[in-house]
Structure 1
Amino acid sequence: MRRFLATTLGQIVAIIASSMLATTLLLMALVYLQNMQAGAPWPWASAHRIVSLVDLLQGVPQDKLRKVTLLASAQRPNMQVTVQDGFVACEGSSSEAFVLGVALRSELPHLTGLSVHACGDADLASNIQVLVPIGRHVLEVRTGTLGYHPFRFGSPAFGAALFLFVSVVAMSLWAIWRVIHPLRRLSEKVEQFARDASPAPITEEGPSEIRSVARAFNSMQDRITGLIEARTRMLAAVSHDLRTPLTRMRLQLELPQGIDRQKLRRNIDEMQAMVSSALAFLGGARDSEAREWIDLDALLATLCDEYEATGASIAYEGPGHIRLLCQPNAIQRALGNLIDNAIDHGSMVEVRAWLDAEAIVVEVADDGPGIPEQRLQEVLEPFVRLDSSRRQRNGSIGLGLAIVDETAKAHGGRLVLANRETGGLLARMILPGQPSPASQ
């Protein structure tokens, strides 16, 4: 029982059962009190007749009391009235006798010695005895039940309360099951996810809050599964690509003429570039970077000048001024990856930027071999290479376009790849334009 009460179902059931029990007991008490109060007039009919009789007899001479009493008995068939010098009081008691005695004493406060008893006779017409002293005589009034039926547990009121209790508890249990069942399935899926990183998604059912939790869990599960898969692919790709520079370094160490420091440094730089690229993709640095207003046109012009200074054939065309609210380092890294990719596969690179309605468009075009149409979307996935056997630039593990695509999505934009009609690849990054602070 303690284990059951420790569960959500047990606690909710305990709360509902306790509240329903308290409500039922309160309802029974109210019905009882109402029955007592609503039945308050029930002793007053008999009490009024007895009080009237006492008032009448108090003004009658003692020798005529019996005659008047006989006349009063004839006029009150439901009451037996006699006057004697003394009577034996009954020894019984009942709630009706008690309530009638209270009523008579309140109406006849000046009388001492008034008493009401329950005789316990089988004859219901005379099971209550009222003794009233009148002078040297005693007036005995025998009357039956006063029409009062005390509240009993088998009464219809209790039956109605019990039906209410049972029906509400049954409906509450059904409603609780409707809530607990999705939560239990969610708990099972969480435990399954702890053992298996790719379980089936949870069915969104139950109340809106439970559906929202299930939807959030499915989304979290997809993100975690994607992250695990990406890390697995990253480890596989980095482990594969690190073998080449490590092999070259081992061969250089075994050469009899000694170590070529320049080649060793290039191999180390290549390995460092691979690791840095992987960490930049999986480390989440872009998420923590603050957004700032930059001049995208100036940034592109600077990048193209730096590449041209290294001997690359590159040209830039822009409007002269483009305001963009972004994460500067992430945007610069993405644009650098696009230009690096174009330079690596082509001999001539053209960069253009312009404002199109409410969007900012940046195009990077090369004259290389392009990408097969059926693989234009595939190359946006991390660690994907079109031909792993062909030459790759130092430090490349297939993350360049994936980083650009993720950066564009993080800024509310997208990356579109297309083959040029004249040959080569056209990479278009479309970013949403925002009004600058000066124009607001």
Structure 2
Amino acid sequence: MMLRFFTTTLGQIVSIIAVSSAATFLLFILLLSIFDPTPPPPPPWPWPAAYRIAMLVETMRSAPDEARAAIVAGARRIDFSIALTQTPRACNGLGQDAQKLQSALQSKFGDMLPTFTIRSCGSDDHATDIQALLPLEGRTLEVLTGDTKADRFFRLTLPLMSTLSFLCVAIAAMSAWAVWRVTGPLRRLAHKADAFGRDIVMESIDEEGPIEIRRVARAFNLMQERITRSLRERTRVLAAVSHDLRTPLTRMRLQLQAGQAENVRAKLLRDIDLMHSMVASAVSFLSGAFLEEEKEWLDLGALLSTLCDEFEETGANIQYEGHEGIPFFCRPNAIHRAVTNLIDNGLHFGSRVVVSASIEQDRVVVDVADDGPGVPTHRIEDVLQPFVRLDPSRSSRSGSVGLGLSIVKEIVEAHQGQIELRQREPNGLIARIIFPSSAFARPTMDAHFAR
């Protein structure tokens, strides 16, 4: 369980924080022991011990007998053991430290102290290796002391160590809490991603946490939305195509069952072309094949003029109003298809179509206007959606599955443009395509098309 925890982001960051806190703690202790900002050290050996012994003897002499035991207990330290006894057990050594203490007592306090004896006990504990025996009113005051060499860590007291430990633990705890707050959105994102594999229809994940995590959550939401929309559109296109294919298939079956195949060849071919058109339109919409085409520069005005001429040759009442020489960076086949769809719609619902192109306020504007019945204002947004037809019951337009304007919208938006539908006075519909200035040619391209 612990090993699994340390494989998570939270566990690894907590480990880094714990190790860095411990290293900081040890480094702080090391620096404190080397560069201690406390006052200067006490006088060298043996003067601290000599002063303590002299003051202790003076205090014991002036104190009543019943208070001496308390004085002895209060004066004890790790390096200063005191006992008031009748029969002391004297040591017999006389080391260099013992001689130094004896000389210090004689030179400074010789007239204040009674006859005393200083000896070395040869103990392994240097803090109580020297014995001082001083007579005191029928008893002997025994003092065990020693030269405590500078202990580097003698100033690291319990309060200081506790403070440092609490500081490190608090930093680690607060850091772990902060990391948990940061990784929380990641955990929820992982849970959502796992659940998304089982249930496509889900609520969007909250975009919270640091900006990088919010970006990941936003990207996940967009991905989920695109996948959901794609699946829904695929379902709708399958339903629409399967529904619309029934009519030509039924007609073909009846014609063949009637045994008049030799007389209905043209009708069969027309129905096959109709089915092919519906399937091709649906597949093209779902695959977005136009996105694979490479962009190139072309003269948009010339393209629209040529397209109108081709429709006019088939007997259509169509006119291009606009000038040529509009450099445009686009996918030519995709733009050709988008404008063709708009012209087809206009010619189907109206008797005359006018195509125009112009540059207005640093943008390219293409209008395809017809004189048909138009579209009700409240249904304008609907007809841009896939598989939407204003009167699906009539199915008056052969081969239509309601994708013409949807394909136009996809192509225009792929060129960073937008399409607008508006009513035309006194009757008809205007399909307006607006491309941003980024699609324009630079001056060098203007010179290219001027040649």
- TM-fit CA distance, 1:69: 10
Question: Alpha carbons of 1:311 and 1:149: their partners in 2 closer, same or farther (altered >3 Å)?
Answer: closer
Residue by residue over 1:44-98, the C-alpha shift from the partner in whole angstroms, topping out at 9 and shown as x without a partner, is: 4549999xxxxxxxxxxxxxxxxx9988533334999x999xx97422134669x
Whether the aligned pair in 1 keeps the contact of 2:323 and 2:357 (CA below 8 Å) is: yes
Which of 338, 349, 355 is the aligned partner of 2:342?
338
CA apart distance, 1:340: 0.7
For 2:124 and 2:250, the matched residues in 1 are separated by 111
Deviation at 1:218, TM superposition (A): 1.8
Secondary structure of 2:122's aligned partner: coil
Q: Determine which of 222, 241, 245 is the counterpart of 1:242.
A: 245
- Give the aligned partner of residue 310 of structure 2: 306
Look up the match of 1:438. 445
User: Where do residues 313-328 of structure 1 align in structure 2 (5 Å cutoff)?
Assistant: 313-328=317-332
Deviates more, 1:213-222 or 1:376-385: 213-222
The one-letter amino acid paired with 1:127 is T
Q: Does 1:93 align with 2:124?
A: yes
Aligned counterpart, 1:113: none
Aligned pair in 2 of structure 1 residues 34, 293: CA closer, same or farther (>3 Å)?
Answer: same
CA RMSD in angstroms, aligned pairs only: 3.5
Q: 1:225 aligns with which of 225, 228, 233?
A: 228
The amino acid across from 1:375 in the alignment is R
Counterpart Cα distance in 2 of 1:431 and 1:7: 49
Q: Is the 8 A contact 2:299 2:324 kept in 1?
A: no
CA deviation digits over 1:348-378, x for unaligned, max 9? 1121222222121111111222111110111
Match for residue 74 of structure 1 among 99, 103, 106: 106
CA distance, structure 2, for counterparts of residue 69 and residue 305 of structure 1: 123
Alpha-carbon offset, residue 41 of structure 1:
5.2
Q: Give SS of 1:265's match.
A: helix
Report the 3-state secondary structure (helix = DSSP H, G, I; strand = E; otherwise coil) of the residue aligned with 2:197. Answer: helix
| Partner in structure 2 of residue 127 of structure 1 | 145
Query: What amino acid is aligned across from residue 330 of structure 2 in structure 1?
Result: C
Matched, 1:422 2:426: yes
Q: Is the 8 A contact 2:353 2:371 kept in 1?
A: yes
SS at match of 1:365: strand
State the TM-score, normalized to the length of structure 2. 0.76
Structure 1 Cα separation of the partners of residues 48 and 174 of structure 2: 51
CA distance in 2 between partners of 1:214 and 1:382 (Å): 28
Cα pair distance change 1:328/1:75, threshold 3 Å: same
Q: Which whole-Å deviations, capped at 9, do the CAs of 1:228-268 have from their partners, x for residues lacking one?
A: 22212111111111112222222233222335332222222
Query: Counterpart of 1:92 in structure 2: which amino acid?
Result: S
Which residue in 2 is equivalent to 1:383?
Answer: 387
The answer to whether the aligner puts 1:7 opposite 2:26 as a matched pair is no
Task: Note the residue ranges of structure 2 that are not aligned, 5 or more in a row.
Answer: 51-99, 134-139
Distance 1:262 1:177 in 2: 72
Q: Matched residue of 1:364: which SS?
A: strand
Residues 431 and 93 of structure 1: CA distance in aligned 2, closer, same or farther (over 3 Å) = same
Instruction: Give, in whole Å, the separation in 1 of the partners of 2:254 and 2:350.
Output: 32
CA distance in 2, matches of 1:75, 1:22: 50
Cα contact 2:127–2:145 (8 A) shared by 1: no
Contact 2:245 2:275 in 1 (8 A): yes
The whole-number CA distance in structure 1 between the counterparts of 2:278 and 2:24 is 71
1:369 to 1:32, Cα distance in 2 relative to 1, 3 A? same
Alignment length (residue pairs): 386
Q: Is the 8 A contact 2:417 2:434 kept in 1?
A: yes
Residue 176 of structure 1 aligns with an amino acid whose one-letter code is: V
Is the aligned partner of 1:252 residue 2:255? yes
Cα 1:150–1:127 change in 2 (3 A) is farther
Residues 154/38 of structure 1: CA separation in 2 closer, same or farther (3 Å cut): closer
Q: Give TM-score, length-normalised by structure 1.
A: 0.78
The DSSP-based 3-state class of the residue aligned with 1:206 is coil
Give the Å deviation of 1:293.
0.9
Q: Does 1:368 pair with 2:382?
A: no
In structure 1, runs of 5+ residues without a counterpart are: 51-67, 98-116, 129-142
